[in-house]
């Protein structure tokens, strides 16, 4: 398969950006639920496939912690979110100095907001030589227009805009496995 369209098994990481309690109510309700569910599914997929997982929280004193459902999934895989004040995770010293240098070539980026923190993180990762994949159903902004603009700009920066289900099935490669049986219910 084409490495430019799909992440390479064994060479992929997941970065979840700022899915926090005080940001969720500002999103359209349907989109908010979908993003939390999609990000949680991505964490379960990453755990199943052995992909490193990283999460961030933008100024948690003001925007609150990661939403409980996603925080639980992150805790299950041993991930504590990195606090940040920079919009791009790559510009936050805790991420830039310890996480980014260890990331594999492919990075899936999901979270909030598509046109701010997600976009800036995507652009910086692309500029640093990573191939970024942005699942459209796992990102949100306060308005649909800003979300669409963020996805468009991410694609212009070189990211592949995809979706959670494509990533899941690409990662699994085939049906009938134990991994398939564990993960398929997540997309039903």
Classify the C-alpha dihedral 99-105-110-115 as positive or negative. positive
Strands (E), 92-153: 106-112, 131-135, 139-140
Instruction: Give the pair of three-digit tokens for residue 110.
Output: 């999901």
CA triple 123-118-110, angle to 5 deg: 115
Of the candidates 39, 117, 124, 137, the residue annotated as catalytic is 117
Of the candidates 18, 47, 124, 137, the residue annotated as catalytic is 18
Phi and psi for 162 in degrees, rounded to 5? Answer: -135, -150
Whether 124 is catalytic is no
Q: Of 82, 77, 89, 108, give the one whose Cα is nearest residue 12.
A: 108
Of the candidates 39, 47, 84, 124, the residue annotated as catalytic is 84
Cβ–Cβ under 8 Å, residues 161 and 154: yes
Whether 39 is catalytic is no
CA triple 18-24-26, angle to 5 deg: 115
Cβ–Cβ under 8 Å, residues 82 and 99: yes
Whether 18 is catalytic is yes
Instruction: Give the pair of three-digit tokens for residue 15.
Output: 């970065």
| Positions marked active-site | 18, 84, 117
């Amino acid at each position: 398969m084409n490495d430019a369209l799909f992440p390479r098994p064994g060479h992929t990481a997941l970065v979840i950006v700022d899915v926090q309690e005080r940001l969720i109510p500002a999103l359209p309700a349907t989109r908010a639920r979908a993003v939390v569910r999609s990000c949680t599914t991505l964490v379960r997929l990453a755990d199943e496939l052995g992909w490193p997982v990283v999460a961030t929280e933008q100024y948690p004193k003001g925007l609150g912690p990661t939403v409980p459902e996603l925080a639980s999934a992150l805790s299950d895989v041993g991930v504590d979110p990195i606090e940040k004040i920079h919009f791009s995770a790559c510009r936050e010293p805790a991420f830039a100095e310890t996480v980014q240098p260890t990331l594999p070539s492919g990075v899936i980026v999901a979270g909030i907001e598509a046109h701010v923190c997600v976009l800036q993180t995507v652009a910086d990762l692309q500029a640093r030589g990573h191939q970024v994949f942005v699942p459209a159903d796992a990102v949100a902004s306060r308005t649909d227009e800003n979300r669409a603009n963020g996805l468009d700009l991410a694609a212009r920066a070189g990211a592949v805009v995809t979706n959670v289900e494509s990533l899941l099935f690409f990662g699994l490669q085939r049906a009938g496995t134990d991994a398939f049986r564990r993960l398929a219910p997540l997309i039903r």
